[in-house]
Amino acid sequence: MILRLLYLLIIAILLIGCEDDPASSAVDCVALQTTMTNDTTAYQESLTAGTVTRAECDTMVASVQAWFDGGCDVSGYYTQATIDELSTACASLPE
pLDDT in tens, 40-60: 999 999 999 999 999 999 999
Residue 87 CA to residue 95 CA, distance in Å, equals: 14
- pLDDT (tens digit, 9 = 90+) per residue, 59-94? 999 999 999 999 998 888 889 999 999 999 999 988
| pTM beyond cutoff 0.95 | no
